[in-house]
Amino acid sequence: MPALPEYLTRTLLGNFGVPVVDGYFVMTGDDLPVELPELPIFLKAQIPGATSRKKHGLVRKVETISEFHSNLDELLSPGDWGQADGVLLAKGLNLKAEYYAGCMLDFGSQKQLPGGILLFSTEGGSGVEGRSGTLVKIPFSLLTPIDAEGIAEELAVIDTLKNPEIIAAFLKGLISTFVGYRLTVLEVNPIGVLSDGSLTAVDCRAEFEKAAVKKTEKDLFFPPGLKSSTDLTQLEQTVELINIADPAGTGFFRQNRETPPDKALRVATNLCGGGGKMLWEMTTGLRTDIYTMNESDTSGGLSAFKSYRILRTIFAQKGAQVLLLTGSGMAFQNQHHLAAAVWKALRETPTPLPTLLRFGGTDEDKARELFERISADLPVPVKTYPAEIFPNVMVDDIEAIAMQNPPHVQPPSSPEGEPVIRVEVPPGDIYFYPDKWKSDEEPPSFSACPTGYLLWNNGELQINPEAKCIGCLMCETASLLEGNGEIRIHLEMPAEVD
Ligand code: SF4
């Protein structure tokens, strides 16, 4: 899902009456304001999708005019981080305390309608490691969102909280912004508590779905005249091509341009949805012992074919020591299909990584069961976690599972012969080997097809013209686990990844 940087998110919050710290946005290439805010001020580079900006030197406090100009020039020029949209000049504040708040979308399940979740913690700012223990989760309806009074009642579980009504009113504004602009993620971190007890949004960011942006709001989300960089790495270009060929669902991938700190663990990530990104950020925060190789987001009901291709790209990153995959725990994508994609990527990549997997959503139990069956035969260790586990437990396990030099293996050869089906979208080739299934009974690979696209006709494969292939990989998975390898799927990858 596209990310909205702070300077744009501030406008959305302001439109719903949420107080934000005074600031002025300087777009790259623009003139400076005639009157500068009073020093000291903070210069904050505005880069869509960037997190942990303070850690990466993208937020700087300046005390003098010469510091101001030199730092501003540097942040407006292309750097390790790419090209910023511009720099936000924000007033420095004396804060009594810092809180954290976020809203995210809960895609729901067969038993529960979609809705929103409000997160609040009295542990705000950059020192976030301990936040998971103080986090309050408040589910709310998108049609009739919870009011300030209801939020205040929920906050009563934090017995140290002073002025819960003031906080509840602020959080209500947050929910109104989230629902009003149909966002998928909205985060304010920190919420600053001023000396008079009032609150202000000091830093914020959002994520959204392009299709949910109204015509009248286009300029708020896609401001005209931006000069931000399009200098994509080779692997990022690969993901662009994957998205063009298979546009359904989100497939976002951006590599870290910085140099990993010495001895930091280099973690490749597959984060599912804005919730997954938020949890990763919350659990790694300012940790310098963990270097995130890439940002990623696979969500919104993408096919397993697409998940596989993006995973193969993530595995192809040089220097990665481990892969961590997690969502918010409520994914829209069927988790068994996702697990099939992870398994296929692990057995077909020449550069598999030790892997930590947290499945959450429909068929999450089947996803974990799949890995219980096949983990022993993989060239790298794999550990799975249930959705109830907060990702900080996974983060704690990274060091134990990471390999300094993960193996380089010879992947299996592509299926032989000609495919019997070439699926156009999502693109993939299906091979059928009748010699491998002599029985008259329908093989498990056919009965596993959830759409009924594959039909068994006396030992022959037929396509049901009424059905569609959704690229779920269930046929191949069942063929390898329950059958004799009679169905194979080949998913073409760009040469850069192989
Ligand atoms: S043929 Fe059926 S089981 Fe196989 S990928 Fe397509 S939809 Fe899934």
Ligand 1 in contact with 478 (CB < 6 A)? no
Domain presence at residue 409: no
- Residue 112's pLDDT is what? 74
Ligand 1 in contact with 174 (CB < 6 A)? no
Domain presence at residue 174: yes
- Residue 146's pLDDT is what? 95
pLDDT in tens, the chain (498 residues): 677 889 999 999 999 999 999 888 888 777 777 777 788 899 998 876 666 666 677 889 999 988 988 898 888 887 766 678 889 999 888 899 999 999 998 877 667 788 999 999 988 765 444 555 578 999 999 999 999 999 999 999 988 888 899 999 999 999 999 999 999 889 999 999 999 999 999 999 998 887 788 888 888 888 876 654 445 788 988 898 898 888 888 888 988 877 888 889 999 999 887 677 777 877 786 688 999 999 888 887 899 999 999 999 999 999 999 999 998 766 678 999 999 999 999 999 999 999 999 998 889 999 999 999 999 999 999 999 998 888 889 999 999 999 999 999 998 888 999 999 999 999 999 999 999 998 989 999 999 999 999 999 988 999 999 999 999 999 999 999 999 999 999 999 877 777
Domain presence at residue 466: yes
48/111 same-domain check: no
366/256 same-domain check: yes
In total, how many domains does the chain have? Answer: 4
Ligand 1 in contact with 26 (CB < 6 A)? no
Contact, 102 vs 119, CB < 8 A?
A: yes
Domain presence at residue 412: no
Ligand 1 in contact with 341 (CB < 6 A)? no
Q: Are strands 59-62 and 86-91 parallel, antiparallel or unpaired?
A: unpaired
Determine which residue's CA is closest to atom 7 belonging to ligand 1. Answer: 469
CATH number of the domain within which 427 lies: 3.30.70.20
Q: Which of 71, 91, 111 is the last residue of a domain?
A: 91
Our measurement of the distance from residue 158's CA atom to the centroid of its chain's CA atoms, rounded to an integer in Å, reads 29
270/384 same-domain check: yes
450/307 same-domain check: no
Atom of ligand 1 nearest to the CA of 468: 7
111/154 same-domain check: yes
- Residue 380's pLDDT is what? 97
- Residue 230's pLDDT is what? 46
Atom of ligand 1 nearest to the CA of 304: 5
Residue keyed to tokens 């005639």: 34
Ligand 1 in contact with 470 (CB < 6 A)? yes
Domain presence at residue 442: yes
CATH number of the domain within which 67 lies: 3.30.1490.20
Helix 392-401 crosses helix 273-284 at what angle (to 10 degrees)?
70
- What one-letter code names the amino acid at 137? K
Atom of ligand 1 nearest to the CA of 473: 5
- Residue 113's pLDDT is what? 80
Atom of ligand 1 nearest to the CA of 423: 6
Determine which residue's CA is closest to atom 4 belonging to ligand 1. Answer: 475
Percent residues over pLDDT 90 in the chain? 55
Structure tokens at 319: 């220097």
Ligand 1 in contact with 451 (CB < 6 A)? yes
Q: Considering just the CA atoms, what is the radius of gyration of the chain in Å? A: 24
Distance (Å, rounded) from C-alpha 140 to C-alpha 111?
A: 16
CATH number of the domain within which 276 lies: 3.40.50.261
Domain assignment of residue 71, given as a range? 22-91
Environment class of residue 405 by beta-carbon count within 10 Å: exposed (0-12), middle (13-18) or buried (19+)? exposed
236: left (phi over 0), alpha (psi -120 to 50) or beta: alpha
Domain presence at residue 164: yes
Rounded to the nearest angstrom, the distance between the alpha carbon of 247 and the centre of ligand 1 is 18
Domain presence at residue 219: no
- Residue 92's pLDDT is what? 84
108/204 same-domain check: yes
- Residue 129's pLDDT is what? 44
Rounded to the nearest angstrom, the distance between the alpha carbon of 332 and the centre of ligand 1 is 18
Ligand 1: which of 302, 446, 470 to mutate, judged by most atoms within 8 Å of the beta carbon? Answer: 470
480/432 same-domain check: yes
Ligand 1 in contact with 472 (CB < 6 A)? yes
Helix 364-374 crosses helix 474-481 at what angle (to 10 degrees)?
40
Ligand 1 in contact with 491 (CB < 6 A)? no
Q: Which of 157, 182, 213 is the last residue of a domain?
A: 213
Structure tokens at 153: 């009642």
Distance (Å, rounded) from C-alpha 147 to C-alpha 149?
A: 5
Determine which residue's CA is closest to atom 1 belonging to ligand 1. Answer: 469
Atom of ligand 1 nearest to the CA of 470: 7
Query: Is this prediction's pTM over 0.85?
Result: no
Domain presence at residue 8: no
364/425 same-domain check: no
Ligand 1 in contact with 45 (CB < 6 A)? no
CATH number of the domain within which 136 lies: 3.30.470.20
Ligand 1 in contact with 469 (CB < 6 A)? yes
Ligand 1: which of 432, 466, 474 to mutate, judged by most atoms within 8 Å of the beta carbon? Answer: 474
Q: Which of 76, 91, 106 is the last residue of a domain?
A: 91
58/203 same-domain check: no
57/135 same-domain check: no
239/294 same-domain check: yes
314-342: string of b/e by CB count within 10 Å (b at 16+)? bbbbeebbbbbbbbbbbbbbbbbbbbbbb
Rounded to the nearest angstrom, the distance between the alpha carbon of 408 and the centre of ligand 1 is 30
300/377 same-domain check: yes
- Residue 128's pLDDT is what? 47
Q: What single DSSP character describes residue 451?
A: T
- Residue 55's pLDDT is what? 67
Contact, 254 vs 295, CB < 8 A?
A: yes
- Residue 210's pLDDT is what? 78
